[in-house]
Every structure is written in C-alpha cells, then in structure tokens.
Amino acid sequence: MPIESAAIRWSGDRLALLDQRALPHESRWLTISDARSAADAIRDMVVRGAPAIGITAAYGLAMEAANQGDNVSLASLKNAIATLAASRPTAVNLFWALERLERVAGTLTGTALVEALNADAEAIHREDLAANQRMGELGAALLPQDSVVYTHCNTGALATGGHGTALGIVRSAWQQGRIRGVVAGETRPWLQGARLTSWELLNDNIPVTLVADSAAGLMMQQGKVQAVVVGADRITANGDTANKIGTYNLAVLARHHGLPFIVAAPLSTLDPALDNGSLIEIEERDGAEVRSIQGKAVAPAGCPAYNPAFDVTPAALITAIVTERGVIENPDCERIAAHLASV
C-alpha cells in the first residue's frame, strides 16, 4: 500500500527517497529498487536520521525479496541483509528493522515471504510516525513555558516517518503555544541543522535562529535558551546516548547552566543489549568532510582530519529520555529496564 512521508515515498513496490544532500536548494527524488541501492543511499547520506535509516533498510529488504521472486527465502536474503547492515554502524534502528524483518520472514518462502516483508516494512514506517506524534505530546510537557529551545542536527520529518523526534517535540510544543522559538545549531560537517532543520522550521512558520555550533555556550550564558532537545541514534541499557557529534558538548554546557537536556527517541533506538555507551560503535567518516564544506575546500589539501559522526552523552547528563511509551527521568539501568518492561 502506498505510504508517503516528507523524505520517503513507498509506492507499494518501489521506494523514492528525497536526496537530503541537495536540500534546501533542490528537491531531487532518487528511485531505489533493491537492497544494494538502499544501502548506498544510507551510506551516502541521501537518507539519514536513525528512524529513516531503519525504514529505508526495511523497504530495501522487502524489495530485494520481491526481486528474487518465487525462490526467495531467508537464506537467499542473507547477502542483502549483510549489505544493508554494513551501510552505517551507529544507528541501532537499522539493525532493529533488519532483525524484525528476519523474524517475520522465519520459514516463509516465495510470495508469502514477499507479502509479509512488505507488510512489516510498511508497519515500521507507519508505527514510526505514530511514535513521533506521541513523543511530541509527552515531550512538549517537559519544556518550560515560553522557552526558547536549542536543538542539534536534524531530527524532524526528514529523519523519521514524519513529525520528528526532538523536532516533533518542538512542533508539538509550538502548536500548544508552549515555546517562543528554536535555536538550531548548524551541525558541522554535514550541516543538518543549517540545511534541514532550519528548512523544516521555516516551512512550518516556527521561529528559528540558526547559529554556528560554537555559539551554544554563549547563548546559554546569556540566558537566550532555556532547554536543549536532541534525538538519538542508540541508547544503551544504562541510558548513555549516541547522537550527532557535538551533542555531548551541549549536554555538558546544559548541565553547567542548569538547563534541562532532553533526549527524544522511539523504542526502536533503545539497545538494551549493550551495557553502556563505551560499547557503541562510532561511525568515522572521511576526513574530506571536515576539510571541506559542501564540496568546497576550506583547509589545506591533505591536512589530517578526524571525523567521528557521533558522540556519546553519559546518562548522568540527561534530564529525561522521551519514548512513545513515556518519559524516563534521570535515566539509569533500573529506570530503562522498568520502562522497557512496562506496557
């Protein structure tokens, strides 16, 4: 059945992705028809954001199954699953989606398998939108009345099945008249804040001020922001949270200035199999992304550069984690486990 969200269009058997590398200047859609092209799109940042990566991987596997036709089985999909799993390492939603589809596939074969994978990929897409809307309601209530909220990277409709995680909270809070506006950090090196978050917020007429990442401390010192809300790529059993590089800096600053630091993520981003954040694989990307901005060199050619795509914020710096199931205040092992066990 066709499903459409801001950056992901599923026709029922083919996938189109909005090429997020070209935003905000150009709206270009790429057609994806198998697991290899889905994996390429994830690795090359055509599609990004933990939930959107999971949704894309699910559709990629479903299309692969359909392409294989009558003889398809879980065994014949193993290479495609490995290709998708190798695309990016940090966002657990990718692995969560693949494992979920593997369970659905089970011993099915042929048309039954194709139909089951299609239905589950569509369910993952729809469930993510519903989760975001619920997180929006729950998270908005945590923000101080009349506050200005600082956010990092892009966690909006582009990064998810719709509405957004942290940006979903911002959207819901704005609709409720709870916040006065948003400060978006530009988010070097890929500029998700400058290119994507500001674009989404301007499109929704939500007041946004774009700042260089290095302005965050001054803005907090000057009392210009009252809360920080971010998304997550993986949250371990103790609440440690991997998110876009620079998130940890913001958490330290928020603690110093006594501001709430709120993480929003669907349950598909929780990884209770890992005890703590030191066990999360942090994606390291090409140093060329740091030496240049949007393909234009800003550093001497060949200058050594280090380019981790994510960092880990210790749970002790997090005021609350919001999932579609509720709010985990002062997250730790016990509270995360109780949250996961609750219904």
Ligand X SMILES: CSC[C@@H](O)[C@@H](O)C(=O)COP(=O)(O)O
Amino acid identity of residue 207, one-letter, is: P
Residue partners of 23: CB distance under 8 A and separation at least 6: 158, 195, 196, 199
Say if CB 271 and CB 234 are below 8 A apart: yes
Q: In whole angstroms, how close is the CB of 70 to ligand X at the nearest point? A: 36
240 is catalytic: no
Cα dihedral sign for 265, 229, 325, 115? negative
Stretch that binds ligand X, among 42-50, 107-115, 119-127, 298-306 (CB under 6 A): 42-50
Q: Tell whether 49 is in a known binding site.
A: yes
Burial of residue 218 (CB within 10 Å: 0-12, 13-18, 19+) is exposed
- The residue among 74 and 266 lying less far from ligand X, judged by its C-beta, is 266
Residue partners of 130: CB distance under 8 A and separation at least 6: 324
x/- site string to ligand X, residues 54 to 93, per CB under 6 A?
-------------------------------------x--
Closest CA to 151 of 246, 235, 236: 246
Helices (H) and strands (E) in the chain, counts: 12, 17
Stretch that binds ligand X, among 106-114, 116-124, 136-144, 231-239 (CB under 6 A): 231-239
Catalytic residue among 233, 240, 271, 311: 233
- Is there binding between residue 243 and ligand X (CB under 6 A)? yes
Among 51, 162, 246, 331, binds ligand X (CB under 6 A): 51
How many Cβ atoms from other residues are within 10 Å of residue 198's Cβ? 20
- The residue among 48 and 125 lying less far from ligand X, judged by its C-beta, is 48
The secondary element (H helix, E strand) that includes residue 217 is helix 216-221
- Is there binding between residue 172 and ligand X (CB under 6 A)? no
- Is there binding between residue 153 and ligand X (CB under 6 A)? yes
- Is there binding between residue 244 and ligand X (CB under 6 A)? yes
Q: Tell whether 291 is in a known binding site.
A: no
- Is there binding between residue 136 and ligand X (CB under 6 A)? no
| Binding-site positions for substrate | 48-50, 88, 192, 243-244
Q: Which residues bind ligand X (CB under 6 A)?
A: 48-51, 91, 153, 155, 159-160, 165, 192, 231-233, 243-244, 309
Q: Which residues are catalytic?
A: 233
